[in-house]
Amino acid sequence: MKGTIRKDQEKGWVIKFEESELPLHPNDVDEINGWDKIFDNIEARILSQPECDFEIVTGFNSSGPEHFPDYAKLIKEEDEDFSDLDATLMDGIEEDPE
């Protein structure tokens, strides 16, 4: 499915699609939080290209009111991560071939 990722002040990261929205899967949120420690303003990088592919998955949450909530799980290639969102990240750092 195709959707748009955004960060809600109360709900955190969500994927909006059609007339609905779902919270982002906790594994994807953890990955974003990890990249936030490495890159400057990962939120702006993600929101600069908000369209994304995702699938709806059912999780388990023993502490929430709903024990089997639905999440939006991002679909990425095996080697893809959120650092790929800015192709200019390493511009000017590469060594010149001699």
Domain that holds residue 79: 2-85
**Which regions of 1-98 does DSSP assign to beta strands (E)?**
2-8, 12-17, 20-23, 51-58, 70-74
Is the residue at 50 inside a domain?
yes
To which residue do tokens 């809600």 refer? 8
- Through-space distance between the first and last CA atoms of the chain, rounded to whole angstroms: 45
* Model pLDDT, residue 36: 86
To which residue do tokens 């899967």 refer? 25
What is the spatial distance between Cα 74 and Cα 72, in angstroms, rounded to a whole number?
A: 6
Is the residue at 70 inside a domain?
yes
Can you give the pLDDT of all 98 residues of the chain as single tens digits? Answer: 999 999 999 999 999 999 999 999 999 999 999 988 888 888 888 999 999 999 999 877 667 666 677 999 999 876 655 555 544 444 444 555 55
Is the residue at 49 inside a domain?
yes
* Model pLDDT, residue 68: 78
What is the spatial distance between Cα 76 and Cα 82, in angstroms, rounded to a whole number?
A: 9
